[in-house]
Amino acid sequence: MVPLRRTARLLDRLPPVRGRYAENVALAAITWFRVGGVAEVMFRPADRADLRDFLRAKPADVAVTVMGVGSNLLVRDGGVPGVLVRLGRDFAGLAMAGTEVQVGAAVLDANVAEASVTAGLGGIEFLSGVPGTIGGALRMNAGAYGREMADVVRRAEAMAPDGSLHALEAAALGFRYRACRVPPDWIFLAATLHGEPAAPDAIRARIAEIKTARHESQPVRSRTGGSTFRNPPGARAWEVIDRAGCRGLRRGAAMVSEQHCNFLINTGGASAADLEALGEEVRRRVLQTTGVALEWEIVRIGQVAVLAAERAT
């Protein structure tokens, strides 16, 4: 674990909150890759008002980063400076009424899919194949098995850096492939999804199909971060990676999955730098071999670790 370089204790500059602050939180214990440095300060707001008051009172120069469950995320070895926000219990509500689902940003995508069985609400089953939380799914317009968030979101709520709350209809979200046009420094708080009445048995069967398909095609039991690169126009990322001869490619303990070569794996003891460098090598080889410029889908945050020799100078 690499400590962050700092000149003063950040916690002393932050406003009082009703939630919890924690310093030097080891993020490798949280992320699915099991790599990365520390969060200088982690903040778990008690509720929306607590988050709003924090954003309004914090020093302007303090960076804020939002993290869900760390599923589609690579935290660099140098850690995350500033404040890392993790939404908790007050942002994890889940209620179904008619054909609508009111869901908080901290709810796991898979839990929404499971709840749809009891409610007899179809069309949301794809979320069982999307790792992570609703907040991340909104930010990335996450999708799997033929559907994506753009197909089911009616509206969402987000908080701007000044603490103002915004209700956004589906059109205002500007969903596109694995992205939306909501400013990256806005924090998603909740969403309203919609589905269609369906037989619970049929919904359960579809979820089982998705689970089987994932286990057969993806390294779900490995330390991975999900799909590494976005599919390029007119192609699939795994196909061009395979064509470039990158299946099974290694850098240290980081490896391109043999099972699905759009997944990177920490085989044990890899660093974030190993994984990121391996991803960049895949991009280089794919571009050289096929002319396709792959774009990262995994979100990379934090700073590169400072070498011991540099720290000593």
Catalytically active residues are: 178, 227, 297
Q: Which tokens in the block code for residue 286? A: 């794919």
d(CA 242, CA 258): 10
Q: Which tokens in the block code for residue 31? A: 């992320």
d(CA 213, CA 145): 9
CA dihedral 117, 120, 125, 131 (to 10 degrees): -50
Q: How many CA atoms lie within 13 A of 249 on its CB side?
A: 23
Helix (H, G, I), strand (E, B) or coil at 55: helix
Q: Which residues of 256-273 are buried (b: 16+ CB within 10 A; e: fewer)?
A: bbeebbbbbbbeeebbbb
Contacts with 235 (C-beta within 8 Å, 6 or more apart), sequence order = 292
Q: Which tokens in the block code for residue 163? A: 């603490």
Contacts with 16 (C-beta within 8 Å, 6 or more apart), sequence order = none
DSSP H/E element including 190: strand 187-194
Contacts with 94 (C-beta within 8 Å, 6 or more apart), sequence order = 101, 102, 103, 104, 107, 111, 112, 115
